[in-house]
Structure 1
Amino acid sequence: MDLTKPFRGSAAVRAGATTWRRLDGPGFDRLDHDTYVAAGTVLDLRGRATAAALAVPDAVVGGYAAATILGADCAPREAVIDLVVGRRRVRPRDGVLIHQDVLGDEEVWFHEGVSVTSPLRTAYDLARALDHDDAVVAVDALAHAHRLDVGALLTYPAGRDNPRWSLRVPRVVADADARAESPPETRARLLMRRGGLTPVPQLPVYDEVGVFVGRLDFAWEDLRLGAEYQGDHHRTDRDQWLRDVSRVAEFAACGWTILPITSRDVYRHQAEFVRRMHGAVDARRRELATRAA
């Protein structure tokens, strides 16, 4: 039993991993009723969700925490934990939202030792609860991780029980795209779409003899113009930086120009980013027209 992850004290004692006396000592932190972790352990969202679920028997983790446990990277670091508990009454807990929903068997998955809402149910709940862009980011991440048909959200049965919230879902579905491979890619796509730019996401590029060169985050194929999101690790990881340089050179050899997209563009200087992308597209069109003349 891994005592650096949240665990039930009673289960650990039965398994012989520790004793009640030790659990009461300085080697462990008590998180809630019968819920412990090794002292000094810093819990991330997954750990906090696991602890919350252990403290409330038969609870199902939902929302952002479920998405994280299901492998969809879309949650803010300090996200509140959603617990679905059915029609029973559960005492409030700090950092936890209690939902008295009743889930169907197909809406619950047992994953990494925790009961969580299924990918489709998680996507539905986030689509109707979050602000629009955050909802699209979450649905993209879940759809990409689990190959979801986002159109299924439009007819999700739970929508009949809460039509007011369901009014948000069609807008989210219209903007969602399972090809997105990260939240910044989704946000960049939404910014460009609002600015009238519609590049193709995740376009595979081949050289003149049909050898695969790479997949571009965004591409204007007729212009041989691409754009790629570069997170901080592209700058700080030397091996990643060298791969990026080689990759850009390979695209250039096939006649492609690649534009970088950074966190500054997506999160801080959005209008400037859209203007710059428009300028690059227009300049490329003029360049190709001049060549053809």
Structure 2
Amino acid sequence: MTVPGWPEVFRGTAAVAAGLVTADRLRGPGFYRLLPDTYAPAGEPPDLRLRSLAAYHWAGPGAVLGGYSSAELLGRSCAPWHAPAEVVGAGLRSGARSRAGVIVRRDTLRPDEIVELDGVRITGRLRTAFDLARLLPPTEAIVAVDALARGQFDPALLLDFAVRRPGLRGVRRVIDTLPWVDARSGSPTETRLRLILVRGGLPRPVAQHPVVDDRRRILWLDLAYPEQRLGVEYDGGDHFATPEAARADARRHTRLVAAGWRVLRYTSDDMRNAPGRIVAEVRGALERSHPRRDAAERAATIIEAR
């Protein structure tokens, strides 16, 4: 007898009936009870992926994972750490209701909006991006669409997707989100940093800008103002996770400086606690480097001298 999800996440009654585990063992320290009659082996605290799989098996045979849960299984993590799992579908079991840690939406999905991944049905990239854009607050919506679109689809496709679904709640929010989206963004944190700059009144930077160093190797800047040769980067903890990582990061910074670039780096603490300072520092750096204006001023000086 096959038990869906065994041994990672499974329905307890099905596993007991199949003789894979006893009821007493399920109640012991070797298993987490994630949802009613839904278990996983004990180990690390359940992450969004595991909680999403639990919601999928708990909600019944008509379940489809959507929203942040779908993004997680697609390998495009963009959810806050506390995000609930999300189940979508019209044919969910009668007892499947939203509860702590799980959102249940009884939307009707079209067959072409559903894909199957490792035996689990999830909403496809476009439908997932559409739902997150229409249901999340503006910043989180932009972060999610950036993550899902990166290297996969042109965000402009969401406009057509939204227009063909006028009756769904929040369609207008999708349209309002699209001008802020950039599918070149390398990570959710980079999207948040870009939004701090643009909402602060600065020009829109180029995401994932390539810089060729003196060895003809390409270095990628998180955000860049190429005309001013100014880079703006998120400085994550992984840059200094090991001594070798710290050395590699220092070498990379030196190569960027040697190529004529200035780079401003900001941490998550800076972004959370001092967005105004970030905007002021980047604005100041931009104002100190206007190559075209400087060239024009030099040309005017030469003409006057003549």
> Normalization by structure 2: what TM-score?
0.84
**Structure 2 unaligned regions, length at least 5:** 299-306
The residue that corresponds to 2:81 in the other structure is: 77
Q: How does 1:200-279 map to 2 (within 5 A)?
A: 200-207=206-213, 211-279=216-284
Shift of the alpha carbon at 1:51?
0.7
Cα separation, 2, equivalents of 1:46 and 1:13: 24
Cα separation, 1, equivalents of 2:6 and 2:45: 13
Cα separation, 2, equivalents of 1:3 and 1:41: 17
Q: Write out per-residue CA displacement over residues 145-170 of structure 1, whole angstroms, 9 at most, x where no aligned residue.
A: x51221111121663222x5111111
| Paired AA for residue 48 in structure 1 | R
Aligned partners of 1:4 and 1:41 also within 8 Å: no
Cα separation, 1, equivalents of 2:258 and 2:80: 39
The residue that corresponds to 1:86 in the other structure is: 90
Q: 1:60 aligns with which of 50, 57, 64?
A: 64
Q: How does 1:189-200 map to 2 (within 5 A)?
A: 189-194=194-199, 195-200=201-206
Cα separation, 1, equivalents of 2:269 and 2:112: 41
| Paired AA for residue 11 in structure 2 | R
| Paired AA for residue 80 in structure 1 | P
> Normalization by structure 1: what TM-score?
0.88
Q: Whose Rg is larger?
A: 2
- In the alignment, structure 1 residue 47 sits paired with structure 2 residue 17: no
Pair 1:229–1:207, CA change in 2 (3 A): same
Shift of the alpha carbon at 1:7?
1.8
- Name the Cα RMSD after superposition: 2.7
Shift of the alpha carbon at 1:91?
3.8
Pair 1:117–1:274, CA change in 2 (3 A): same
The residue that corresponds to 2:106 in the other structure is: 100
Aligned partners of 1:3 and 1:38 also within 8 Å: no
Cα separation, 1, equivalents of 2:37 and 2:261: 59
Aligned partners of 1:229 and 1:262 also within 8 Å: yes
The residue that corresponds to 1:28 in the other structure is: 31
Aligned partners of 1:127 and 1:168 also within 8 Å: yes
- Partner of 2:60, secondary structure, is coil
Aligned partners of 2:37 and 2:58 also within 8 Å: yes
Q: Write out per-residue CA displacement over residues 244-278 of structure 1, whole angstroms, 9 at most, x where no aligned residue.
A: 11011111222222221221332221111101100
Q: Write out per-residue CA displacement over residues 207-258 of structure 1, whole angstroms, 9 at most, x where no aligned residue.
A: 367x133111122222222222111222343222211110111112222222
Pair 1:288–1:12, CA change in 2 (3 A): farther
Cα separation, 1, equivalents of 2:229 and 2:29: 62
Q: Write out per-residue CA displacement over residues 19-38 of structure 1, whole angstroms, 9 at most, x where no aligned residue.
A: 44533444333333442122
| Paired AA for residue 219 in structure 2 | G
The residue that corresponds to 2:115 in the other structure is: 109
Cα separation, 1, equivalents of 2:281 and 2:265: 11
Aligned partners of 2:228 and 2:291 also within 8 Å: no
Shift of the alpha carbon at 1:285?
2.8
183-192 or 14-23: which moved more?
A: 14-23
Shift of the alpha carbon at 1:117?
1.1
Q: Write out per-residue CA displacement over residues 74-96 of structure 1, whole angstroms, 9 at most, x where no aligned residue.
A: 10111122211305544423322
| Paired AA for residue 99 in structure 1 | R
Cα separation, 1, equivalents of 2:48 and 2:117: 15
Q: 2:285 aligns with which of 276, 280, 286?
A: 280
- Partner of 1:161, secondary structure, is coil
| Paired AA for residue 267 in structure 2 | T
